[in-house]
Structure 1
C-alpha cells in the first residue's frame, strides 16, 4: 500500500469515545480506510463490517473458539475488519490508531481466554483468516514455506505434504490441532509432538513480515534482530500485526508409528504414571508420549484413567524394542501400534477416524463457529513427583469432574537450546502440565462450577510445580495469573504475568516493546508493557 494516498483526517475527540454514536465511528473509520487503501467505500462492504452488517455476526463468530466469550453479554467489537490484503492490515492499524481505539488481532481464534476478540474497552477486531496463503519451496535450503498468519496448521501440513511428495517426506514441528491459526501459534512459541526431536516452531522461523505501529511492512532485515527475536515466542500482538512467517521444513521418515494405551487405578496406573516421568522426557527424541489423566466411571465405580498417546518417528518394531526395555509398566503390545505416514499421524492426532484411509483434504476443514465452553491453565514440573504426591493428585482428580490433566514431556532437542535464544524460557523443564476443562452447559451457574473445579485442582498442583514464579505457557493464555489495566502501574501489573510467561526474557521483551511501540498502541490484558516513563 502506498501511504502517499491523500489521507482525509477527521477531527475526533478521543476522551469521549464511549459517547460517540457507533455510526459516526464506523463512518470515520471507513473514510480513513478508504483513503488509505485508495478504494471507494462501496468496494469495502465485505471488509469493513459494522455491527449492522449482515455478515458482521457470522464473521465474528466464525473463529470464536471458546463459547464462554460467545454469549449475548460478551463484549463485541464496534467494527470487524476482514482483511483481504496486506494493505488492509496497514490501513486498519493506521485508522484504528487515529481514532484511538483498541485493536485486537485474530488469526485462528484459539486464544483460550479470548484476548484476540474480546475486550472491556471499546475495540475493533482485525480478522486475519483470509490471509492464509502458503507457498512451499522445496528447492530453498532443503525446503521452506511462507505461511500467512491466517493459515491453519492443518493447511500448513497439507501443503507441505502436497509439495514435498517428490522430494522425500517433510513436515513442520507445530501443534496437533489442525484448526489453530499459524500466526498466534508460532508467535507464542509453538509446540507439538515433534518438539523432542526438533524443538519449537519458532526454532525454524527464518524470516517474517509484520505491520508495525506506523503502518510499515517490515521483514527480518528491516525490523532488526531484536524485534524478530521478540515475535518468535513473545507473542506478536504486543509488537505489531504478523502477516506471515517463513518456515524451514524438517525431514520426517516415510513411516511413523502411533499408539494409545490406557490404564485405570485398578490396573496400576499409579505405577505407570510415576515411571512415565523418568522415561518420557529422557527416552529417544524420536518418541513423544503425551500422558492424559481424567476421572471416569467404570462399572459404576469412579476411578482415574491414565492414557498415553504417542508418536514415534520410526517403525513399530524399533518402538516395541525401545519401550519393552525402558517402560515395561506401560505394557505396550504390538496390536496397540499403527504404522502410517507422517501426515496420517497428524490426522490421527486430530482424532480423524480411520486416519490411514481418510482423505488428506480433511486437514483443510476449518469448522467455523464450533466451540465448547472451556478453561485452560498450565504449569511446569522440574523434578519427578513422588508416588505419594501422585496418589494425592489422583484423589483430588476424582472430585474434579470433567477436568483433564495433560503431561507433555520435554527433553531431547528442547533441553539443548539456550533459554534465551527465543522468548520461550521453559526449555529445561521436565514436562509441562495442561489443566483442561471443557463443558457444554451454558449459563453462569455451570461456568462458575467448572471454573471453580479447575482452579481448585490448580491449587492442589502448587507443591509439585515451579515456584517464584509459577511458570505458565503463553499459548495457554490464562487471565487468572494477572492482567494489565494500562494505567500508571502498567509495568508492575505486567511484571506479575510477564515473569510467569517469559522468566528472565521479560526484560528484553519490555525493551523491544518500548523501542518499537513507545505509546503502547498494541496492547491487551496481558501484553508486554513499555518501560515506566521517568518523572
Structure 2
C-alpha cells in the first residue's frame, strides 16, 4: 500500500453485512429510545457495509459488557471492523452525526473509556486486527491493534525468540497499554512499551489513514505515543523487539515482619529504596516492585533479573536483603526461560488468550501516585500509618504495588517529553492502589473513600507528584486529570495539536484532551 501524503483508503475486499438484519428494525430501535443521530449513524454504518452491533443484536451483551463491572456504559453502537476502510468509515459516520468515538483493543480500561466512559458513543472494537508478524532481519514486529499481551509475547517468541517490555496481565490489549505508557519488570532493560513503538498505522479524525513514524507524520507519531485516545485509532503497531533473555531469575521475598509496626514498615521500605538507588548492585537487568496486600499483613519484594543465578545470589540478593526482616519460608528464587517467566507473572497456565469471546471481569476502583524523587520519611510514615490502621479493616479487598521505574541504568530514563507525549519517563516510583469487590456485587462508596485516603496519605507529604494514565481514575475532574497525567506545559502543547488533528473532538472521553 502506498504511503504518500494523506493515503488513499484500502479498498473493500468484500461486502460485509451488519448485525442489523433489515430496515424494519429501525422502528424497534426508535421505540427503544434511539435518537435521530444514533439512527443516522446506524444507517451510515449499514450503507457503508461496516459490521456492527446494536442493543438488539444477539452478541451485544458480550461485546458491550465492560471489564470493570463497576462502570458499565451503553454505546450507541459497536463497530466490528475487519478492514482499515471499515474503521475509517466508522469514524466518518460518527463524526458526521456528532457522535464521539473510542477504540477498544483489549477493553481493560480502568474507567471503561474503551466503551466511551459514558453512554451514547461509538465503540470501535479491534478484535479482528490480531495478526503478528516478525521481521527476522530488523527484529520489528508488525502487530494488529487488537492483539492481547499474552498472544503478542507468544507470537514473537515462537517466530524468533524475541521479547518486548510490557505488563504482566496476558489479557490486556496492546492498544491502550502501549500508547499510554506500558510498564513491566523488563521495562528498566528495554524501556516502556511505548518506547518500543517505531511506527504506527493510524486512522485520524477526518477518516484519513496515515503511516506515522519520526519522519512521516511526526506530529501523529508523537501524540499517538502517550495520548492516542484523543487523537486517532491505531490499526497496526510496528514494535522494535529485543532478543529474549536466555534465562530469567524470577525472585520473591515475603517480609511479614515488615508490617508489625509503622516504624518497621518505614524502615524496611527505606532500606529497599536505598538498595534501588545503589548502582553497585542495580542495573537495567533488574526489575522489581513492592506489593502490600492481605489487610496489611503481606509485604513482598519481587521481580526479575536478566543474568546468572550466581550473580544474583552473591551480589544482588545480599545487597537487597541487608538489614531487612528475615524472609518467610515461601520466598523463592527460580531460574526459568523467558516465556515461562511471563507465564508465571501472568498467573495462569498459559499466555494464550482467545481471539473472540473474551469474558474476564473485575469490579474495582484504582488510583496511582508517581514521583520522580525518593519517598521522604514523612510520606512513608503517613502512608504506612494509613495502611496499618484503615488498611487492616478495609471496606474492600485491596493491594498496593510500588514499582521501580527509574534508578541506576534504567532505560526508561533514555526518553523524555520531546520523544513522546508522555510525562512519566523520569519517574522513579509508581504506586498503584487498587480495591475490588465481587464482580456481581455493589462497590461501596466507602471503598472509593478508602482508596482516596490511601493516595492522600502519600501525596499530602509530597511536594510534587503525578498519576499514571494506564491506571486512570475517573473521579478526577478534567482539569485535575490533565495536570496529574500530563502537567501544564505538555497539556498546552497537546491542546494545540488537538486543534489541528481533531478540531471537532471526534475522539473523546470524559478526561481526554479537548481542542
Q: TM-score, normalised by structure 2?
A: 0.84
Please name the residue that 1:217 is paired with.
Answer: 209
Deviations 1:270-301 (Å, cap 9, x if unpaired)? Answer: 433221112225522111111011253xxxxx
Equivalent residues in 2 for 1:322-337, closer than 5 Å: 322-327=315-320, 328-330=322-324, 336-337=332-333
Question: Is 1:18–1:122's contact at 8 Å kept on the other side of the alignment?
Answer: no
- Please report how far the alpha carbon of residue 246 of structure 1 lies from its aligned counterpart in structure 2 after TM superposition: 0.2
Q: Distance in 2 between matches of 1:304 and 1:351?
A: 21
Q: Structure 1 residues 258, 280: CA separation in 2 closer, same or farther (over 3 Å shift)?
A: same
Q: Distance in 2 between matches of 1:122 and 1:363?
A: 29
Among 59, 67, 72, the residue aligned to 2:69: 67
Match of 1:180, SS state, is coil
Q: Structure 1 residues 441, 94: CA separation in 2 closer, same or farther (over 3 Å shift)?
A: closer
Among 445, 451, 473, the residue aligned to 1:454: 451
Please name the residue that 2:380 is paired with.
Answer: 390
Q: Distance in 1 between matches of 2:376 and 2:493?
A: 36
Among 510, 513, 516, the residue aligned to 2:495: 510
- Please report how far the alpha carbon of residue 202 of structure 1 lies from its aligned counterpart in structure 2 after TM superposition: 1.8
Among 232, 241, 244, the residue aligned to 1:240: 232
Match of 1:52, SS state, is coil
Among 71, 84, 106, the residue aligned to 2:104: 106
1:500 is aligned to 2:484: yes
Question: Is 2:10–2:84's contact at 8 Å kept on the other side of the alignment?
Answer: no
Q: Distance in 2 between matches of 1:287 and 1:334?
A: 21
Question: Is 2:116–2:509's contact at 8 Å kept on the other side of the alignment?
Answer: no
Q: Distance in 2 between matches of 1:2 and 1:334?
A: 55
Question: Is 2:224–2:231's contact at 8 Å kept on the other side of the alignment?
Answer: yes
Please name the residue that 1:410 is paired with.
Answer: 405
Q: Distance in 2 between matches of 1:451 and 1:383?
A: 27
Please name the residue that 1:420 is paired with.
Answer: 418
Q: Distance in 2 between matches of 1:377 and 1:471?
A: 11
Q: Distance in 1 between matches of 2:299 and 2:10?
A: 57
Q: TM-score, normalised by structure 1?
A: 0.81
Please name the residue that 1:519 is paired with.
Answer: 504
Please name the residue that 2:75 is paired with.
Answer: 77
Please name the residue that 1:338 is paired with.
Answer: 334
Structure 2: runs of 5+ lacking an equivalent? 1-8, 15-28
Please name the residue that 1:197 is paired with.
Answer: 189
Q: Structure 1 residues 428, 281: CA separation in 2 closer, same or farther (over 3 Å shift)?
A: farther
Match of 2:113, SS state, is coil
Bigger mean CA deviation after superposition, 472-481 or 389-398: 389-398
- Please report how far the alpha carbon of residue 452 of structure 1 lies from its aligned counterpart in structure 2 after TM superposition: 1.3
Question: Is 2:111–2:117's contact at 8 Å kept on the other side of the alignment?
Answer: no
Please name the residue that 2:472 is paired with.
Answer: 477
- Please report how far the alpha carbon of residue 350 of structure 1 lies from its aligned counterpart in structure 2 after TM superposition: 0.8
Question: Is 1:131–1:148's contact at 8 Å kept on the other side of the alignment?
Answer: yes
- Please report how far the alpha carbon of residue 22 of structure 1 lies from its aligned counterpart in structure 2 after TM superposition: 2.3
Match of 1:80, SS state, is strand
Equivalent residues in 2 for 1:262-301, closer than 5 Å: 262-264=254-256, 265-266=259-260, 269-282=265-278, 283-296=282-295
- Please report how far the alpha carbon of residue 394 of structure 1 lies from its aligned counterpart in structure 2 after TM superposition: 2.1
- Please report how far the alpha carbon of residue 384 of structure 1 lies from its aligned counterpart in structure 2 after TM superposition: 3.0
Match of 1:209, SS state, is strand
Deviations 1:183-220 (Å, cap 9, x if unpaired)? Answer: 11111122211111121112111110111112111101
Match of 1:374, SS state, is strand
Please name the residue that 2:44 is paired with.
Answer: 32
Question: Is 1:379–1:433's contact at 8 Å kept on the other side of the alignment?
Answer: yes
Match of 1:393, SS state, is helix
Structure 1: runs of 5+ lacking an equivalent? 6-16, 297-302, 353-357, 484-492, 531-535
Q: Structure 1 residues 521, 433: CA separation in 2 closer, same or farther (over 3 Å shift)?
A: same
Q: Distance in 2 between matches of 1:314 and 1:2?
A: 46
Question: Is 2:265–2:384's contact at 8 Å kept on the other side of the alignment?
Answer: no
Among 50, 57, 80, the residue aligned to 2:54: 50
Deviations 1:484-503 (Å, cap 9, x if unpaired)? Answer: xxxxxxxxx4xx42232112
- Please report how far the alpha carbon of residue 386 of structure 1 lies from its aligned counterpart in structure 2 after TM superposition: 4.6
Among 165, 172, 178, the residue aligned to 1:186: 178
Q: Distance in 1 between matches of 2:499 and 2:274?
A: 43
- Please report how far the alpha carbon of residue 269 of structure 1 lies from its aligned counterpart in structure 2 after TM superposition: 4.8
Equivalenced residue count is: 472
